[in-house]
Each structure stands twice: as C-alpha cells, then as structure tokens.
Amino acid sequence: MTKKIYDAIVVGAGHNGLTAASYMAKAGLDVLVLEKNDYIGGAAVSRELFPGWKYSNCSYVCSLLRPEIMRDLELYKYGLQIIPYEGSATMMKNGDYYAHYHDHDMTVKSISRHSKHDAEAYDRYSRDVMRQCKIIKPLLKMTPPDLTSFKPKDILGALEFAKHFAAKDELGGLGEKEIYDTIRFYTMSIADYLDEYFETDITKAHLAGSAIIGTALGPCSPGSAYVLLHHYMGEVDGSIGSWGYARGGMGSITKAMGECLKSHGGTIQASSEVTNVIVKNGRAVGVATLNGDEFYAKKVVSNLDVKRTFLKITDESDLQPDFVERVKNFKIRGSSGKLNIALEGLPTFPSIPKDDPGGNGDLHFTETIEEMEGAYDDWKRGQWSKMPYVDMCLPSKSDPTMAAPGKHFMSVFIQYVPFELANGGWNEQRKQDFGNHIINRIAEYSPDFKDLIAHYEVRTPKDIHDEVGLTEGNIFQGELTMDQLMFNRPITGYAQYRAPIKDLYMCSSSTHPGGGVMGAPGANAAREILSDMNIKQKGNHY
Amino acid sequence: MNIDLTQAALKFTPFHNRTSRACRTNSWYRWSGYTVVAEYSTTELEYTATRNGTSVMDLTPMYKYEIKGERAKEFINYFVTRDLSEMKDNTVAYVIWCNEAGKVVDDGTVFCLNQNEFKICCAVKMQTWLKDSAEGFDLDINDVTDDIAALSVQGPTSCSVLKNYGATNLESLKPFESKDFTIDGYSVLISRTGFTGDLGYELWTNPENAEKMWDSLMESGKHLKIRPMGMHALEMVRIEAGFIQTGTDFVSTEHALRPVRMRSPYEIGMGWLVHLTKKDYFIGKRALKAEKENGTTERVLVGLDIEGDKPAHGAVIYNKKKEDVGIVTAALWSPTLKRNIAIASLMRPYGTKIKDDIFVEIYHPEELEYKKIWATCKVVKRQFYSPERRNMVPAEVY
C-alpha cells in the first residue's frame, strides 16, 4: 500500500502553525498538522486544570494577532471575540496607585495626579511611538527581502522596506531627524528613551514594563526600546497599542483557527510528536513521529523554534556546518515564569479604589526603573528576581467565561526567571519556593489574596521549555533584538521562511516578525509556500 | 444637577437619575424629544458589553401605542404588510407598514398582549397615521410612550442577569415571545427581542419602577459583566446585525420632503415582511402587488464587505469607478468580524444581478487632508453577524 502524500505537513499546532495550515487549506491544499501534546494551541491555550476555572496557561493577552488574519480566516465564525482592556495600574508602596485607562483623557488626568509634566509629555510620547508603529505596521505582512540577492523580488522588497522607513507618503514626509529618530529608537534602551520624555519614576516604570516582558534584556539594555514597540504595534480595532483578552482565554484563538482549518478540509492529529524530518535526495519529503509513524508531504513546515527545527528534528548531516553553528548561536533565552491562579473571589487591592477601571487590566508593583534593572541583575546571576516585575491580570473581571460568576482567574506573568538556576537545576522544591515567593509578593498588596486561592499552577521557563516546547521558555521563540529581526530573523540569509533544505519551511515566531501571538509568521510563510507551488490566494490580506 | 425641567428643551426619561450618574463623559444624544446617553465611558467597551456580557440601554424614547378593541387584531393585520392573522397572545412580531402607494411608513414591533389588545413600538410618531388608518374599526388607540419605562438588556449573559433579577425560567422563553413577571412587587413585561443581533431582551415597566428596576438589574449583573450602553455603541451592534434604522437607511413617508425618496419594502430589504398572499387586504397591498408583478422595484438595500479598514461613511458607490450607482447608508469597522462593513442602497440591477466591479469611493480624513480610497467591495448578506446563542432555546445561562 502506498502511503498518502499530503500537500503539506505542519509540525506543531501552535497559533502560527494553525495560521499557516489554514491559509494553505483555504488555498486548496491537503494539510496535516501534527502536535506533540494531547491538546492543540501551543502557547495559546485555555486549559481547565482545576474544575470550574479556565486558565490562559501561557500567553494571556491579545493585541498583536493581526486583524487581517482574523478577517481572512473568519475567526469570528468560530467564536473568537476580543475584549479590550479597561485600563492598567501600578500599585505603590505608599498606598497610592498610578493608572492608565481606555479613555485617553482619563489617562492624562490620572498621570497629572503624579506629574503635570508627565501628563503633557504623554501626548508627545504617544505621537512618537505611534509614528514608529505606523512605519513598522506594513512590514509585518512582508517577507523580509534578502539584501544580498539581486533577484527582482528582493530588490523591490528592499525598496519597499526602505520606503516604509522613509515613509514619505505614509506620514506626509519624514525629515532626516525622524529617520535618525527611528534608528535611535531601534537601538536605545527604554530607560534612556523614557528619560527624554518623563520626569517621575512611576510613569517611567509603568511604561517600561512593555520593553522587558518576555525578553532577556533589562530596561537599561540597548535594544529594549524596540521590545516596547513590539508590544505597542498591535491594536484592538484601530486603537493602536491596545491590549485585550480573547474571550474564553487564549485557547479561543487556536480553537477558532483549528475549526477554520477543519472547515477547509485540513486535519489535526494530536499526541503525535515529530522526531525527525525525513530528507531524501536533499528534499524534505515527510516526517517521522515518536511512535514510529511516517507521514509524507510535498512540503514540510516547521512551527517549532529555529533551534528545535534544526538541532532536534533535522539531522545535522542534512545541513551545512556553518548554518548549524549560526542556529546554535541564535539567542533564545528564557527570562519569564508564570503563575495561573484560581480564586474563590475577587481579591482586594486597597491601593486601587473600588470600581476604578484601572484595576480591570494589567496590574504591577514595580515603581522605579532601578528596581526593574535590579530584578534583571538577579536573573543574570541565575536567580529569580527578589523584586520581580509582574504583569498580573484578572481576565475573569472582563470575561464571563473563565470562571463561575463571582470566581476569578488570575494570570501572573513574572519577569525575570532563569531557565537554569545558578544553584543547580529546577526541581519541585525550587519551583514551589518560586511560586510562594510570588504569592507572598502579591499578598503584600492584597491582604485577602492568599485566603482566596483555590488552586494554582507554577510555570518556570523549564516547564514552558518541556511542555510547550519553546526552547529555554523564551516566549518570542528568540530574542527581539536588531541582530535577530527582519532580514536577520532567524538566521541571516534565511529570513524568507525557507530552510536550507528544499521543501522544508519555517513558520514559527522565530521568523519575521517574531512572537507575541501575532500569526504574521504563519501567514507570511503560507504565502511563500503557496507562491513556490504557483498557487494564487484569492481575496486574502496576506 | 438642578435643571428646570420646564425650561429644558428635551425630556428626561424615567431612568435619567441613573443614566446621568453612570455617564462619565457627559455625552448626550437627542432622541424623539428625549435626551439619552450617547456614550457612558467609551463606546468600544459599551459595544463589547453586548457581545461579551450584558449591555443595558434606555429605550424609553421609542414610540409606543396601545391598540385596544374587539377588532384590534383585524386592524393590525390590515395595518401591517405581514400576515399576523395567526398571531398568538404573548408574542411579538417584527413588522413594517406602508401607505396606499406601497411606500414604507416605518418598521417596528407589534406586541400581542391578548387578541383584543396590542402594542406597537416604533421609531416615528404614529398616532395620527394609526388613527387615520383605523377609521371605522372602533378602537381605542393611545400614545403610551411616556407611560412605559423601557430598557433593552442584551448580550450573552443577559438571560442570567434577568434570572438573577427575578425572571424565573426565562431561558425557556423563545425569540419573539413575551411574558409578564412580577418582580419585587411590580410588574415587568419581558420580551425576547432586541436591536443588537445577540441574545437579548426588552423590559417594560411603569415609570415609577424605573429606578428600582435599573438598580436591581445592575446588582443582578455585577458578576456578569453588565454595563450601560449609549447610542453610539447601539449603532455599531445594529449595523453588524443588519438591522435598518428609519431616517438612516430609508426615509419614512411621514418625513420625506421629496416624494422620490420614499421607498417600497422591496427597496429596503423588507420584501420578506410583505405577504401578498394574505387573505385580507392590507394598506399598500395593491401597489406592492403591482410592483412585484411588474418588476418596477428601483433600488435594493444590501450588505457590503469593503476592502481595507477605513469605514465608508456616506460614501458613493460606483460601477467600474465610473457610474454612480448608490450610496452607503451606514458603515462600520466591525470589531467582532474584523471586517469593513456597510449597508448600502443601490440602483438595481447593481446589487441584485450585477455584483462585481462595484467600488466605494472613501474619503478618509488624515490630519486635515483627505485620502481618497477606491475600495472594491463584495455584495453580501446584510445580516453580517448572527451568533448561534441569539436564537438558542433554552437560552445560554452562566
């Protein structure tokens, strides 16, 4: 019996794998997605680990998921609904708080309680960051050009890239100063960048959080300003930089994508860990799974990060040594952990007035850049931060589907947590110590918090590495620094979603434009694959 | 706030004390001589309440008329184009009514309280048209707009909110059914109707209970993501649902200064409500029958799915970028669909037989300059969004 040959096999049912698979299936391909876990979604999942509570176990908020992808894949049909944040707040030791709101005027009014200067500067800061967002937005759906190639496609691509940076027509003419500003923005630290606008520690600390989340950089590290941009370039319906919850948790995104894929005839097979890519005569022809099954396809697409793709499931002998070396050098350092907590009721945070919408979004405790940098210093020494930066939220305050009425789910993202500890590896005891450390930290700001805990899950970078499959637990599948962005992502010369092996492709967040549950790498990869197969997509935005 | 109501230009609804307190933006909207909230906090969050939790909206300014008498049902069936001869007690029907020339006077809902008592709820003042039409029927027709405090309670958790409020077994109420409840000692009529395209209900009570009802609802919904919704958000959800609005998507015969602006039901997507097979005569039947038989319908109201993300407010529609073939009556970047949608009135055969090569000319304001966009568009079903939960029986309970 001859084995079936699929048009494409996608390795990994995370959001990018499912996005790529859905676009391909929509274009008429026969697509199979293989997933190692017994559930789909990768790092965009909603799992009920404790009866009655849905957890967004890994990623927890949504902003970067491209609206064009939601539109092309009609994800609303499969239940996807984004709920915008109402605000955000940093709680202060002196009992005060600093808040931003969905309403711009409320934000300005709120900042001016701390500093009139900062309240005014916030408008200018927003304008400048928005300019950078406008420049980068069109690049998100482009395949990065190969600057060393003389193919017409690459030359035109390079011009297109350059056009968006110069952005004359988009922004009504940028002068030299603005182009220099862009270059500065991409290379500066967030601490230096914010110093140019703001005077108070609390404003800077509140804003700087977006520049360190998920990255192994500190707020004083050059390049951290770009990470902030990465967190700002999303939108919730034209409200640029806004964040929201996926109704039903982040798993609703991948669930909807999975449904879309199936509706176009695609297949998902869970509990099927791919162990290697089968290469014959220099071409990828299929994959083998842990239980010995083999699947064949015209195209193999890896949604694993670049390290796993080339160091784990591809034989080194199928690759050039210098390429392997560069993959080994790819920076993918784990820096964050997570607590997912089921609560019997709503914890009180006395520093935020009751019913203040600032309390209905992301909550933080870090009051100064120094404290944040100190947290980073601990990580460098192989310890979890004594005074971590936390990005904490209660999606159940906005989403009625996460827990029963009156009960709550709390997602606590923690920066910084190392993949390997200086005093030896992670073990159960250390994991619990880490969890308790964070719980105690939260309890300092919420007297009734501990009593409300019904269940909690601790996730170290090691857990994320082992279970989800993100190497070292790096949430972006690779640092978002200039040396690993655009035509350098993941590997210089291989930024166009094609691996060095024919018919093997990459669609993970290790590729342009990176992580953050954006879906753009998957959609871009699908476009390249379909173009190699001479298949035209109809009516799509990618 | 001390306002001399005798001096105020606009009336306050019975909920005003509550709505004005909840309104953080002091942003108001004129509606049929009343003032109601346009935006409480931010429109996006109010919109989201309808698609995620529950939104509460003050509906009091909708005109309401009671029609009582032995021939009430016979009259209603003569008044509207839809065949309501089988209409049962405690049900509601969506209807339109026309003048003798077959042009639409208004759309609205008919509530059958019992076979001799009906209420009509609509957007345009209708007392005189009703009375003129009811000549010889010997009916009691009264404007009861000011005697009813009305709220719309809409969204996926709305059934749960109302169950907490005291509406026992509400989940078994089917779409377009209504039921009388006694809650906290006062009576409330709850119908499973709405203007949002989602699961939802409308509540009528005596104005003296209005504030109590508002407070109890907010308390009942405190864990169910309840939020008051203003008129701006209503406009968004009704476009997604594909509902038409008198005065926006068509002009009522009662208002049209230029007779050519009057529209037949077939021109505004309401042909499905015209029952030419109805046994008895109804106002406009002759003209509508002739229109249908002769194929003289000039326009069509369609849904458009427009390229890009710039809403096509008031945009002109062209055939092959040349010939003007229609106009957008309502437009929206839909937050749920992530699509750029619009309701548009087109000259047939555009929108019926010819659906390709149709362009919308959008002038998008960009910091004191207009960017002109030629956007291609697809003619689609006007009901852009209709989630399963909308018509599910029993209704979703949280």
Query: By CA distance, what is B309's nearest residue in A?
Result: A238
Q: Please give the Cα distance from B64 to A368 (Å, whole number).
A: 59
The alpha carbon of residue B252 is apart from the nearest alpha carbon of chain A, in Å, by: 33
Q: A76 and B52 in contact by Cβ < 8 A?
A: no
Report CA B74 to chain centroid distance, whole Å.
25
The pLDDT of residue A418 is 97
Per residue of chain A (542 residues), what is the pLDDT tens digit? 568 999 999 999 999 999 999 999 999 999 999 999 999 999 999 999 999 999 999 999 998 999 999 999 999 999 999 999 999 999 999 999 999 999 999 999 999 999 999 999 999 999 999 888 888 888 888 999 888 888 888 888 888 777 766 655 555 456 667 778 888 899 999 999 999 999 999 999 999 999 999 999 999 999 999 999 998 888 777 777 788 999 999 999 999 999 999 999 999 999 999 999 999 999 999 999 999 999 999 999 999 999 999 999 999 999 999 999 999 999 999 999 999 999 999 999 999 999 999 999 999 999 999 999 999 999 999 999 999 999 999 999 999 999 999 999 999 999 999 999 998 899 999 999 999 999 999 999 999 999 999 999 999 999 999 999 999 999 999 999 999 999 999 999 999 999 999 999 999 999 999 999 999 999 999 999 999 999 988 878 88
Q: B52 and A398 in contact by Cβ < 8 A?
A: yes
The structure tokens listed for A378 are: 């601990």
Query: By CA distance, what is B376's nearest residue in A?
Result: A539
Residue pairs spanning A and B at CB distance below 8 A: 63
In chain B, which residues have their Cβ closer than 8 Å to the Cβ of A137?
Answer: none
- Domain parsing of chain A, residue ranges: 5-82+248-331+478-532, 105-242, 332-468
> Which ipTM did the prediction report?
0.94
Q: A70 and B41 in contact by Cβ < 8 A?
A: no
Phi, psi at residue A165, to the nearest 5°?
-75, -45
The pLDDT of residue B2 is 62
The pLDDT of residue B1 is 53
Assess contact for B235 and B175: CB atoms under 8 A: no
Q: A357 and B53 in contact by Cβ < 8 A?
A: no
CA distances from B220 to A95, A160, A386, B159, B181 (A): 31, 55, 42, 11, 16
The pLDDT of residue A175 is 64
Where does residue B143 rank: exposed (0-12), middle (13-18), buried (19+ CB within 10 A)?
middle
Q: Is the dihedral of CA A67, A154, A327, A324 positive or negative?
A: positive
3-class state of residue B157 by DSSP: coil
First to last CA, chain A: 38
Q: Best interface-test mutation with B: which of A103, A235, A354 has the largest number of B CBs within 10 A?
A: A103
Q: A172 and B335 in contact by Cβ < 8 A?
A: no
The pLDDT of residue A163 is 72
Q: Please give the Cα distance from A40 to A269 (Å, whole number).
A: 9
Q: A71 and B338 in contact by Cβ < 8 A?
A: yes
Q: Best interface-test mutation with A: which of B52, B220, B306 has the largest number of A CBs within 10 A?
A: B52
Could you please state the CATH topology (level 3) that the domain comprising A5-82+248-331+478-532 is classified under. Answer: FAD/NAD(P)-binding domain (3.50.50)
Q: Best interface-test mutation with B: which of A170, A236, A237 has the largest number of B CBs within 10 A?
A: A237
| Nearest Cα to Cα of residue A217 among A382, A375, A441, A59 | A375
Q: B338 and A67 in contact by Cβ < 8 A?
A: yes
3-class state of residue A262 by DSSP: helix
| Nearest Cα to Cα of residue A69 among A131, A136, A15, A8 | A15
In chain B, which residues have their Cβ closer than 8 Å to the Cβ of A245?
Answer: none
The pLDDT of residue A166 is 64
Query: By CA distance, what is B224's nearest residue in A?
Result: A400
Report H helices in A349-479: 369-380, 428-443, 449-452, 461-463
The structure tokens listed for B167 are: 């509406």
Q: B337 and A172 in contact by Cβ < 8 A?
A: no
Strand partners, B349: none
In chain B, which residues have their Cβ closer than 8 Å to the Cβ of A400?
Answer: 52-53, 156-157, 223-225, 398
Assess contact for B101 and B287: CB atoms under 8 A: yes
Q: Please give the Cα distance from B266 to A168 (Å, whole number).
A: 48
Q: B337 and A236 in contact by Cβ < 8 A?
A: no
The alpha carbon of residue B34 is apart from the nearest alpha carbon of chain A, in Å, by: 27
Query: By CA distance, what is A67's nearest residue in B?
Result: B338
Q: B45 and A86 in contact by Cβ < 8 A?
A: yes
The H or E element spanning position B117 is strand B117-122
Q: Best interface-test mutation with B: which of A54, A70, A73, A81 has the largest number of B CBs within 10 A?
A: A81
Assess contact for A78 and A247: CB atoms under 8 A: no
Q: What count of residues does chain A have?
A: 542
How do beta strands A294-302 and A504-506 pair?
A: parallel
The alpha carbon of residue B219 is apart from the nearest alpha carbon of chain A, in Å, by: 12
The alpha carbon of residue A297 is apart from the nearest alpha carbon of chain B, in Å, by: 33
DSSP assignment letter at A348: P
Instruction: State the amino acid at position B304 in one-letter form.
Output: L
In chain B, which residues have their Cβ closer than 8 Å to the Cβ of A172?
Answer: 366-367, 369
Q: Please give the Cα distance from B80 to B85 (Å, whole number).
A: 11
Q: Please give the Cα distance from A260 to A23 (Å, whole number).
A: 9
Q: Could you tell me which residues of chain B have a Cβ less than 8 Å from any Cβ in chain A?
A: 24-25, 41-42, 44-45, 48, 51-53, 156-157, 160, 223-225, 309, 333, 335-339, 366-367, 369, 385, 398
List CB contacts of A439: < 8 A, sequence separation 6 or more: A339, A449, A450, A453, A456
| Nearest Cα to Cα of residue A79 among A269, A240, A249 | A249
Query: By CA distance, what is A68's nearest residue in B?
Result: B338
The pLDDT of residue A237 is 73
Across the interface, of B225, B309, B339, the residue whose CB is closest to A400 is B225
Rg of chain B over Cα atoms, rounded to whole angstroms, equals 21
Q: A400 and B52 in contact by Cβ < 8 A?
A: yes
In chain B, which residues have their Cβ closer than 8 Å to the Cβ of A401?
Answer: 398
In chain A, which residues have their Cβ closer than 8 Å to the Cβ of B157?
Answer: 400
Across the interface, of B52, B223, B366, the residue whose CB is closest to A81 is B52
Q: Please give the Cα distance from B394 to B172 (Å, whole number).
A: 5
Assess contact for A479 and A515: CB atoms under 8 A: no
The pLDDT of residue A437 is 98
Instruction: State the amino acid at position A293 in one-letter form.
Output: D
Query: By CA distance, what is B220's nearest residue in A?
Result: A405
Instruction: State the amino acid at position A124 in one-letter form.
Output: R
Across the interface, of B52, B223, B339, the residue whose CB is closest to A247 is B52
In chain A, which residues have their Cβ closer than 8 Å to the Cβ of B335?
Answer: 82, 236-237
Across the interface, of B225, B309, B385, the residue whose CB is closest to A398 is B225
The alpha carbon of residue A101 is apart from the nearest alpha carbon of chain B, in Å, by: 10
Q: Please give the Cα distance from A101 to A359 (Å, whole number).
A: 9
Q: Which residue has the tokens 């906290």?
A: B184
The alpha carbon of residue B184 is apart from the nearest alpha carbon of chain A, in Å, by: 23
Angle at A397 between CA A395 and CA A402, to 5 degrees: 55
The alpha carbon of residue B337 is apart from the nearest alpha carbon of chain A, in Å, by: 6
How do beta strands A239-240 and A235-236 pair?
A: antiparallel
Q: B338 and A86 in contact by Cβ < 8 A?
A: no
Phi, psi at residue A319, to the nearest 5°?
-125, 160
The alpha carbon of residue B9 is apart from the nearest alpha carbon of chain A, in Å, by: 29
The structure tokens listed for A491 are: 């590997």
In chain A, which residues have their Cβ closer than 8 Å to the Cβ of B25?
Answer: 103
Assess contact for A247 and A399: CB atoms under 8 A: yes
Q: A400 and B398 in contact by Cβ < 8 A?
A: yes
Q: B42 and A75 in contact by Cβ < 8 A?
A: no
DSSP assignment letter at A397: G
Domains and CATH numbers, chain B: 16-60+148-241 (3.30.1360.120), 298-381 (2.40.30.110)
Beta strands in A281-344 (DSSP E): 283-289, 294-302, 336-343
Q: Please give the Cα distance from B134 to B65 (Å, whole number).
A: 13
Assess contact for A408 and A458: CB atoms under 8 A: no
The alpha carbon of residue B309 is apart from the nearest alpha carbon of chain A, in Å, by: 9
Q: Could you tell me which residues of chain A have a Cβ less than 8 Å from any Cβ in chain B?
A: 67-68, 70-71, 75-76, 81-84, 86, 102-103, 172, 236-239, 247, 357, 398-401, 404-406
Assess contact for A442 and A351: CB atoms under 8 A: no
3-class state of residue A351 by DSSP: coil
Q: A405 and B160 in contact by Cβ < 8 A?
A: yes
The alpha carbon of residue B208 is apart from the nearest alpha carbon of chain A, in Å, by: 28
Q: What count of residues does chain B have?
A: 398
> Which residues does chain B have with pLDDT short of 50?
none
